[in-house]
Amino acid sequence: MEGLKVIWVLFLWGYEMPRKPKKPCSYPGCPKLTYGRYCEEHEKLTRKHYEKYKRNPATKKRYGAHWKRIRDAYVKQHPVCEMCKKRGIHTPTQEVHHIIPLAEGGSNDWDNLMSLCKSCHSRLHVNRGDRWRK
């Protein structure tokens, strides 16, 4: 209990917890160190490549500028993860989930949307069985 008080006092004074050491960028030949998988430059490049060559065109059509406007408006009204909020935790929204997926006949109506943090969104899809299959 004392240790927790010390950590809380250090947090209030502006001290940050130590981070994991940086590791090399995963892009072939890049020597830059980063906390994520890619350095900032190659993160943008790999996202662009994915959008252009690997993403399913049907999915790309469903999640265009129109979806971004709907998503941004929904996040503005629901800034906290809805699943975490039920457990009494206030985690900022990082993703918006379709309760009934668009591919299964769902819509972009607000009653079919749910604001989630990344971990809750991943957990929801794992439990649903439509991602990360063995």
Domain locations in the chain as residue ranges: 32-128
pLDDT of residue 129: 76
Tell me the percentage of the chain whose pLDDT exceeds 90: 48
pLDDT of residue 70: 93
pLDDT of residue 49: 86
DSSP annotation string for the chain = -HHHHHHHHHHHTT--PPPPPPEE-SSTT---EESSSS-HHHHHHHHHHIIIIIS-HHHHHHTSHHHHHHHHHHHHH--B-HHHHHTT---B--EEEESS-GGGT--S-GGGEEEE-HHHHHHHHHHHTSSS--
- Reported as a single tens digit per residue, the pLDDT across 66-107 is 888 999 999 999 999 999 999 999 999 999 999 998 888 888
pLDDT of residue 1: 54
